[in-house]
Structure 1
Amino acid sequence: MDIRDVPTDRRSPPNSLAGHSPHDIERPAGTGWGSLLSGANGVRSLALAGGVALHAINVYIATTILPSVVHDIGGLGLYAWNTTIFVVASVLGSALSARLLQQAGPRGAYAIAAAIFTLGSVGCAIAPSMPVMLIGRLVQGLGGGFLFALAYAMIRIVFPEALWPRAMALVSGMWGVATLVGPAIGGIFAELGIWRAAFWSLVPVTLLFAVLAVAVLPKREAGPSQHSAVPLMQLILLTAAVLAISAGSASLDLTRNAAGIVVAVVLAVLLVNAESRSRQKLLPSGAFRPRSTIAALYATMALLAVTVTSGEVFVPLFLQVLHHQSPLFAGYLAAFMAAGWTLGSIASSGATGIGVQRAIMVGPLLGLAGMAALCVLVPKGSAGTWLALMPICVALVAIGLGVGLAWPHLLTHVLKAARPDEQELAGASITTIQLLATATGAALAGLVANAGGLIEPGGMTGTANAARWLFGMFALAPLLCLVSARRTVTV
């Protein structure tokens, strides 16, 4: 991504900062956590991780309180749209973040992103109906996408390459923080019957974060700025493809479901064609060539993200309806996947050589085992005892752990696989791929769950059928991921 504090010459070293003396940026020689979390690196780590934490906490607040929201203002058929709209907007925010940085500089960009996120939170808090709620989620997602993209883009800019894996793990680890904070905020307010207060609580925290970012991020340097064009056509086609799936999922008519998928496939083909012809790229070169290394990396990332998303969207609802859990406990149990993701990222961040290859291959294996277990355990229902819930918790952790083990190394490999003149684009592509996979996964999850009986016949029977179909179908994602993961470790 172009940042005014960064050299505009793409041939410059990826971790250099223009306009600063060598003494302005500390470059510890070590590669351990102490080097990342001490001195100037520590302050920058806090700023980058904070933006992701804010985005992630909101995700778990929303998933935890959503059953209460639906109970209050209706909109069960649009249940998955809350995630889809939020993440699609996040993709747009991620893609547009480079232009925002060019216009406002790092400090201004973070402040603007936080302001947009705050506006969306207020919109959600006052929403009288589900359509209005979706508008608020769209604005929230745009701000969250800005914050999320800035974190990954700045890693290769402010840290030496030796610290990239640990920095990636730290940023990914913020989802672990979110698993503690998000469900607590959402669950407590939901149980008190004041779910709107959960969104209101985000406002002061977001404003405080904006002040922190302004205090610690690099200043905007004077001088001419370069303006990189936005791949507008690709973004329009990408957004339309995801929304086509979501539109199809809102209907109980299988013909419309299939039509949504067909339209999405056609739009995806047009996207690939537009990307190949355009000078303004959405992804680095080779992203759509099946035999390229970077295509295999993106496929592996996307399939792992889809696996997690399919569970996170509906697990809180399934646990409340089928296993009689309160909103608070259902939110925490659903967050076990993110907790596993965090543990896996931290545990494998120091791996090298053959250890990296093993971490990447173990990821989809754990995901496949976890999804198969959920397909059997969740639809059965229970009285909510720990004896019944413990195996479900283990399966959720296993899915997240698998993603976490592979994730830091996949992201680092993307930066190394990209051409030197596409390093900025590669940094932005990390969030684009993850968010796109999340949005697509949420849209497909809504389609499968609705077709499986969530709305018709509904109730305990319909919800159980929806859970069985959802986890059974989405077990295909980690299965396919085994193929793409093997490709990444054998090239």
Structure 2
Amino acid sequence: MSSHEGNWGDLLSGKNAACSVVLSGGVALHAINIYIATTVLPSVVQEIGGLNLYAWNTTLFVIASILGSALTSPTLSRTGARGTYAVAILFFLCGSLLCALAPGMPVMLLGRAVQGLGGGFLFALGYCMINEVFEQRLWPRAFALISGMWGVATLVGPAIGGIFADMHAWRLAFGFIVPVTLAYAWLVLRTLPAGRGNRAAAAPLPLAQLLLLTAAVLAIGLGSTDPRLSVNLASVAVAAVLLVMLVRRERNGKYRMLPRNALRRGSPLLPLYLTIGLLVVGMTSETFVPYFLQLLHGQSPLLSGYLAALMAAGWTLAEIWSSGWQGKRIRLAIVAGPLLVLAGMTALTLALPVNGNGAPGLLVVISLALLLVGFGIGLGWPHLLTRVLQVTPEEEQDAAATSITTVQLVATALGAALAGMLANQGGLNAPGGIAGAQSAAYVLFGVLALAPLLAVFSAGRSAKGLQNTGATEK
């Protein structure tokens, strides 16, 4: 392995270029779809109803994505990279068609779940193959490139969703995904070899953990549909018990979702996973941003979609900026990130609930706050992910790569379910309207701001681990 620091030219030239396009392209497709759905969802509920199930579009999508992510490694061992991508693309296409043709919210939710299954494969494949196709010196750049596809999605997704929503043709937004996915399938077939190569057989799925996780997310989601606070609190308590059972099973079970001993006290992976998860939980508030911007600030679907996407844009900018940092600057990025997210979430708590009627000054504050949240997440992101691979034994590198996606998706699923509960409890449906949206926005962003606050402490532990090992010093 070359010892010199990898650069963008090394990653995007020669034999690495085609692999970079395929890996990043799958994540881009997944991310663009998310922003299309986020942008058109207010139009969807206006036509087919289901405002009380608003957050379930994200919750079911992410639960299915977790399953897809978990299935990635065993599918790779059986069918190879090309076969696994084919499975992902098939589910993604079917889900997109179901969404485009949905007569009501139940079918829309089914379509989102099928889409999520395919998207989970695409998302996990992007990360899972980095350590297989690239040298270690290129890992931070590769992580930044793949995660940077969310920045591409912030430009493309809201545009597609917003244009079709403004035309009152939101179904065509999902239909648009179909030919794009078919073109991507052609690219995969041209680039990746057939067969599974020398890949070793994957371990059996940790079914018990997956069932416990799904039950925990569904418990919160089901509780969120009931306006009674007692039911909401009971569902959170049930979810907490299920998550404790999951952690115990993960520690002692024969088959695991994460590398061995990852959740044990003193593990270098534990603070890394906590930091990643808590930062993502804070960002799940993004799902409701277009709705609040349209109702409280008089913005069009197109503009509200773009403003909501500022979180991902900030994430991408920070990742690209910091991906080449070394030594003390890595520790600075990891520690400063949660503080910036906390500042952005606090600003959103104060500004977004205000009924601004399109006031330019207020929109500037909201835009900067959204950008700041994403920037704080992206600042240390490539180094957190690289560190996960660095501290994991070589024989568990596949599990470590898949765990990055798993932790991110688990945090997204739990955060989305919690966001739905907070919004509904805050008054999104009752009293509803402007007053309900104002109250819901205040509760949603105020409570979820606790996530980056807790991440400040786990990030400190992660940075201390870097200092103790000196792994990043030159």
Query: How do 1:159-174 residues align onto structure 2 when only pairs under 5 Å count?
Result: 159-174=134-149
1:129-161 per-residue CA deviation (whole Å, 9 max, x = no partner) reads 111111000000000000000010110110000
Whether contact under 8 Å (2:276, 2:407) holds in the other structure is yes
For residue 447 of structure 2, what is the aligned residue in structure 1? 473
Whether contact under 8 Å (1:290, 1:296) holds in the other structure is no
Whether contact under 8 Å (1:97, 1:149) holds in the other structure is yes
Deviation of the 1:455 alpha carbon: 0.5
2:190 matched to 1:215?
Answer: yes
Distance 1:385 1:213, change over 3 A: same
Whether contact under 8 Å (2:166, 2:302) holds in the other structure is yes
Deviation of the 1:388 alpha carbon: 2.1
Between the aligned partners of 1:487 and 1:224, the Cα distance in structure 2 is 35
Between the aligned partners of 1:217 and 1:341, the Cα distance in structure 2 is 29
1:190-232 per-residue CA deviation (whole Å, 9 max, x = no partner) reads 1100100000000010011011011112332567962421111
Whether contact under 8 Å (1:92, 1:235) holds in the other structure is yes
Whether contact under 8 Å (2:78, 2:196) holds in the other structure is no
Aligned letter for 1:284? P
Of 412, 437, 454, the match for 1:438 = 412
Deviation of the 1:28 alpha carbon: 10
Between the aligned partners of 1:403 and 1:298, the Cα distance in structure 2 is 13
Between the aligned partners of 2:49 and 2:88, the Cα distance in structure 1 is 30
Distance 1:73 1:51, change over 3 A: same
Query: TM-score w.r.t. structure 2 length?
Result: 0.96
Of 392, 397, 408, the match for 1:418 = 392
Identical-residue share of aligned pairs (%): 57
Between the aligned partners of 1:352 and 1:227, the Cα distance in structure 2 is 34
Deviation of the 1:375 alpha carbon: 0.6
Query: TM-score w.r.t. structure 1 length?
Result: 0.93
Aligned letter for 2:53? L
2:308 matched to 1:342?
Answer: no
Distance 1:297 1:207, change over 3 A: same
Distance 1:219 1:288, change over 3 A: same
For residue 96 of structure 1, what is the aligned residue in structure 2? 71
2:33 matched to 1:31?
Answer: no
For residue 179 of structure 2, what is the aligned residue in structure 1? 204
Of 15, 20, 42, the match for 1:40 = 15
Deviation of the 1:29 alpha carbon: 6.2
For residue 342 of structure 2, what is the aligned residue in structure 1? 368
Query: How do 1:242-261 residues align onto structure 2 when only pairs under 5 Å count?
Result: 242-261=217-236
Query: How do 1:78-227 residues align onto structure 2 when only pairs under 5 Å count?
Result: 78-221=53-196, 226-227=201-202
2:216 matched to 1:241?
Answer: yes
Aligned letter for 1:113? A
Indicate the SS of the match to 1:477.
Answer: helix
Instruction: Give the unaligned 5+ runs of structure 1.
Output: 1-14, 16-26
Deviation of the 1:253 alpha carbon: 1.2
2:270 matched to 1:283?
Answer: no
Between the aligned partners of 1:61 and 1:276, the Cα distance in structure 2 is 38
1:274-295 per-residue CA deviation (whole Å, 9 max, x = no partner) reads 2222211111123222432100
Whether contact under 8 Å (1:303, 1:480) holds in the other structure is yes
Whether contact under 8 Å (1:246, 1:443) holds in the other structure is yes
Aligned letter for 1:399? V
Aligned letter for 1:127? A
Whether contact under 8 Å (2:81, 2:196) holds in the other structure is no
Deviation of the 1:427 alpha carbon: 0.5
Aligned letter for 2:422? V
Indicate the SS of the match to 2:102.
Answer: coil
The 10-residue stretch of structure 1 (222-231 or 47-56) with the greater mean CA deviation from structure 2: 222-231
Deviation of the 1:61 alpha carbon: 0.4
Whether contact under 8 Å (1:108, 1:214) holds in the other structure is no
Deviation of the 1:327 alpha carbon: 0.5
Aligned letter for 2:450? L
2:368 matched to 1:355?
Answer: no
Whether contact under 8 Å (2:297, 2:357) holds in the other structure is yes
Aligned letter for 1:262? A
For residue 70 of structure 1, what is the aligned residue in structure 2? 45
1:3-44 per-residue CA deviation (whole Å, 9 max, x = no partner) reads xxxxxxxxxxxx9xxxxxxxxxxx896611000000110111
Between the aligned partners of 1:182 and 1:416, the Cα distance in structure 2 is 33
Indicate the SS of the match to 1:68.
Answer: helix
2:352 matched to 1:400?
Answer: no
1:159-178 per-residue CA deviation (whole Å, 9 max, x = no partner) reads 00000000000000000000
Indicate the SS of the match to 1:38.
Answer: coil
For residue 447 of structure 1, what is the aligned residue in structure 2? 421
Between the aligned partners of 1:263 and 1:394, the Cα distance in structure 2 is 37
- What count of residue pairs does the alignment treat as equivalent? 465
For residue 34 of structure 2, what is the aligned residue in structure 1? 59
Between the aligned partners of 2:407 and 2:446, the Cα distance in structure 1 is 24
Between the aligned partners of 1:386 and 1:339, the Cα distance in structure 2 is 20
Whether contact under 8 Å (1:92, 1:145) holds in the other structure is yes
1:352-372 per-residue CA deviation (whole Å, 9 max, x = no partner) reads 000000000111011010011
Deviation of the 1:384 alpha carbon: 1.0
Between the aligned partners of 1:28 and 1:178, the Cα distance in structure 2 is 33
Between the aligned partners of 2:401 and 2:273, the Cα distance in structure 1 is 13
Between the aligned partners of 2:257 and 2:248, the Cα distance in structure 1 is 12
2:295 matched to 1:321?
Answer: yes
Backbone CA RMSD of aligned residues: 1.4
